[in-house]
Amino acid sequence: MNPIDSPVARDLALVLLLCGGLLLTLVWPRGTRRRIAHRTRRTVLRAKPQQLSRKEEQVADLWQRLLKNFASLGERVPVGGQAQRNKLREQLVRAGFRERRAISMMIGLKLLAGALFAFAAIGVGPYVPRIGEYFVFRVLMMGAAFIVGMILPEIALDSLGGRRQRIISSYLPDALDLLVICTNAGNSLTVGVKRVARELRTICPPLADEFTVTGDELQIGSDSAVALRHLAERIGLPSVRALVATLIQSQQYGTPITQSLRMLSRAERTAQMMALEEKAAKLATKMTMPMMFFILPTVGLIAAGPAVIRLIAVFK
């Protein structure tokens, strides 16, 4: 007799099934209202900020005090003219730093990095052979280290801005597709931009942040063309400038923007594919030097090594 067909096994399976159904009935909310309340409760709990421990609060307070000191240092020491400050403001905005005292913090960070490099040069200068004993050389070395320390934060800021632009460029076609869906659904530009920002929050936070700022500017009631131009200035990408120009022209002349957005999305995807194909085509040229220096000598040793060993043995 099969043990599965026995009455004990059937009774045990029935009891387990009844227990599972009872547990599911108790846990799972019944009715439409209870399901909605349960989903809302989970969303609120997920959105509720976590309580920070005392150590984390101390670290956060220390970090805030450091940033405040950097900002005060940058405000007290006038470094660079207005043109340089405007350029630094553009770099900070493209890197995602839009705080009111971001320029002062960056200047304070540059001064601190320059001072640290200068002190390091003072400590290392006397140990340089032959010329380290000259005072003029140590002064020149300290000045060069200070300049290098002042330049390094800007290089890091440019790197952050470039990385952020690459991330935005890679997800821009998806954002355009979502904007097309929103416009087809009858949403206005403000509602569509804010909905796209909400949908992109998990996959591309930089682009979602920029769209959120633009949606807030459009919702406040300012000129839509000015808000869209601010978006293009903050990101600084040609594709975003084309998108902004398309949206402004559609608002000025009353033309539908769905087809234009589709064409922009298709063109952006084509440009990304061409960039990937270009990188793939350059790969063979870039692999030439590593093959010559690392792979070819190894192959030569494997191929000619036994013959060379035999020749040495024969001539001996």
Give one DSSP letter per residue of 153-193, joined into a string. HHHHHHHHHHHHHHHHHHHHHHHHHHHHHHHHTT--HHHHH
Domain boundary among 163, 180, 201: 163
The pLDDT value recorded for residue 90 is 85
Q: Looking at the structure, do residues 18 and 143 belong to the same domain, yes or no? A: yes
pLDDT in tens, 204-216: 888 889 898 888 8
- Which tens digits make up the pLDDT trace of 80-137? 677 777 888 888 888 888 877 778 888 888 888 888 888 888 888 778 787 777 878 8
Q: Quick one: 91 and 193 in the same domain? A: no
Residue type, 38: H
Q: What is the mean pLDDT of residues 40-54?
A: 48
**Same domain? 138 vs 258:** no
Residue 83 in domain: yes
Contact yes or no for 244/210 (Cβ under 8 A): no
State yes or no: pLDDT of 19 exceeds 50: no
pLDDT of residue 31: 45
Listing DSSP states for 198-219 in one string gives HHTTTT-HHHHHHHHHHHHHHH
Q: Side chain identity at 308, as an amino acid letter?
A: V
- Joined together, the tokens standing for residue 249 give 């022209």
- Whether 303 is in a domain gets the answer no
d(CA 157, CA 164): 11
Contact 54, 195 (CB under 8 A): no
> For all residues of the chain together, what is the average pLDDT?
77
Cα distance between residue 178 and residue 211, in whole Å: 12
Q: Which of 142, 85, 83 is nearest to 115 (CA)?
A: 142
Q: Are 109 and 175 part of one and the same domain?
A: no
Whether 295 is covered by a domain: the verdict is no
Residue that the structure tokens 């796209």 belong to: 196
- DSSP at 97: -
Does pLDDT of 159 surpass 70? yes
Contact 105, 71 (CB under 8 A): yes
pLDDT at position 84: 78
Q: Could you tell me if 144 and 207 lie in one domain?
A: no
Q: Is residue 151 part of a domain?
A: yes
72 lies in the same domain as 105 = yes
Distance between CA 213 and CA 220 in Å, rounded? Answer: 11
Axis-axis angle for helices 82-94, 224-235 (nearest 10): 90
pLDDT higher than threshold 50 for residue 289? yes
What is the reported pLDDT for 301? Answer: 86
C-alpha dihedral sign at 18, 24, 26, 31: negative
Token digits for 193?
Answer: 């931009």
Tell me, yes or no, whether 124 and 176 share the same domain: no
- Do residues 125 and 132 touch, judged by C-beta distance below 8 A? yes
Whole-angstrom distance between the N-terminal and C-terminal Cα of the chain? 85
The answer, yes or no, to whether residue 290 has pLDDT greater than 80, is: yes
Final residue of a structural domain among 117, 137, 163: 163
Encoding tokens for residue 261?
A: 């957005």
How many domains, the chain?
2
**Rounded CA separation 173/269 (Å):** 6
- What pTM was estimated for this model as a whole? 0.67
Q: Is 300 inside any structural domain? A: no
